[in-house]
Amino acid sequence: MFPHPSLSDSDIMDNKTQLKTQLFGIDIDVLNMEGAISRLRDWIENGDQRCRYVVTPNVDHAVLFQENSQLREAYEGAGMVLADGHPIVWTSMISGKRLPERVAGSELVPELFDSFNKQGKLRVFLLGAAEGVGATAAENMKRTWPNVETVGVFSPPMGFEKSDEQCELILDKLAEAQADVVIVGLGAPKQELWVSKYVDRIPASAALCVGATIDFLAGEKKRAPVWMQRSGIEWVHRMCSEPKRLVKRYARDAWIFPQLVCRQLFGWKQHA
Ligand code: UDP
C-alpha cells in the first residue's frame, strides 16, 4: 500500500546505537515486536540492577505529548518507546520514516510471557486496574503461562499519586515482591508520570506502561476484533465499550491528530 520506507534525515541513533525515528516530536524506537521482546529479554537477563521503562505512544499520547511537558519528560527517560496504534505507523510510512509495525502494549505483554514460558522463568508484578482485576489476571496467567509467576498484585486507590504515603506503600510492595517486570496499568499519562518519577526506586528490570492490559489479561475488557485492530479502528470498539469516559477524549483526538499529521508531513516545529 505504501512505498517501502527508508531511513530519513530525522532518523537518529541514540548513544546506545538504538535506531529511533521522530514523529510528532516523539523519538520512537524503530523496532518490531520481535526486536522489542529481544531487548526486554536482554534487560531482564543481563540487566544492571536498574529499572528501565517502556512507553507505548498511540494517537491519544501523541496529542497529550504536545500539551503536557511532564509527559514529554517522562518519555525522554524511557528505555524503549514503541508505536502503539496503526495511525502512528501509517504516518511514519507516508512521511518516509521506517517504523516496521505496530507494537501495542497489550500485545507486548502476552508476547513477553510467551517468550519466557517457552524459555526461562519470569516474575511479574501487576500494578493497577480496579480492585480484584489483578487477581483474576494472575489466575488466568497461571493457566496460560505456567513459567510466569505473579509475585504481586496491587490496585492503588483513586488519587494515590497525590499521596506520598500511598506511593511509598506501592514501593514497599514492589520491594517485597522483587519482580523482574512490573506491568503498570494506571492509564495515560498517570502511569508514565508515576513510573518516571519513581523509576530509580523500582526494584525490577523493567516497568511496562501498558494501559488496560491487566483488564485484558483478566478478561475484564475485551480487545476489538482483529479486523478492527488491523483497520486502525480499535478506538471505535473502545469508545463504544466506555462511551462516558472516552467520547470526549476521542473527539479531541479526532480534531487534533489530523493537524499533527499535517505538521508532520508539511513541516514540524519543535517545542519551544
Ligand atoms: N487505572 C488505575 N488507577 C487509576 C486510573 C486508572 O488503576 O488511578 C486503571 C484503570 O482501572 C484501567 C487502566 O488504568 O485498568 C486504564 O487503561 P486505559 O488503557 O483505558 O488507559 P488510558 O486509555 O486512559 O490510558
* CA 76 to centroid of ligand 1, rounded, Å: 22
Atom of ligand 1 nearest to the CA of 155: 7
Provide the percentage of residues in the chain whose pLDDT is more than 70.
Answer: 92
The verdict on pTM exceeding 0.85 is yes
Whether residue 13 is predicted with pLDDT greater than 80 in this model: the reply is no
Nearest alpha carbon, ligand 1 atom 22: 187
pLDDT digits (tens, 9 = 90+) for 73-97: 999 999 999 999 899 999 999 998 8
pLDDT of 9 over the 60 cut: no
With beta carbons less than 8 A apart as the criterion, state whether 10 and 92 touch.
no
**C-alpha pair distances (Å), 61 with each of 88, 102, 163, 209, 228:** 10, 15, 25, 12, 20
Q: Which residue has the higher pLDDT, 237 or 148?
A: 148
Q: Is the pLDDT of residue 15 over 60?
A: no
Q: Is the Cβ atom of 188 under 6 angstroms away from ligand 1? A: yes
Distance (Å) from CA 66 to ligand 1 centroid:
21
- Does residue 75 or residue 272 have the better pLDDT? 75
Q: Which grid coordinates belong to 129?
A: 486496574
Q: Domain map of the chain by residue range?
A: 20-105, 106-218
Peptide bond into 157 cis (omega under 30): no
Residue 12's alpha-carbon distances to 18, 29, 30, 247, 272, in angstroms, are: 8, 10, 10, 36, 20
Q: Which residues, listed in sequence order, are joined to residue 160 by a DSSP beta bridge?
A: none
Ligand 1 center–CA 17 separation, angstroms:
33
For residue range 114-166, list pLDDT tens digits in order.
999 999 999 999 999 999 999 999 999 999 999 999 999 999 999 999 999 99
pLDDT at 36: 98
Share of the chain above pLDDT 90, in %: 79
Choose between 229 and 104: higher pLDDT.
104
User: Which tens digits make up the pLDDT trace of 212-223?
Assistant: 999 999 999 888
**What is the reported pLDDT for 7?**
43
* 186 ligand 1 Cβ < 6 A: yes
- Which residue, among 266, 256, 261, 269, has the nearest Cα to 91 in the 3D structure? 261
**Across the chain, what does the average pLDDT equal?**
91
- For 166-170, the CB contacts below 8 A with 24+ separation are 167/194, 167/198, 170/127, 170/198
If pLDDT is split at 50, 70 and 90, which confidence band does 49 have? confident
Q: What CATH number does the domain located at 106-218 have?
A: 3.40.50.2300
CB-ligand 1 contact for 185 (6 Å cutoff): yes
Q: Is the CB of 128 under 6 A from ligand 1?
A: yes
pLDDT attached to residue 8: 46
Which carries the bigger pLDDT value, residue 185 or residue 17? 185
Residue 5 three-state SS? coil
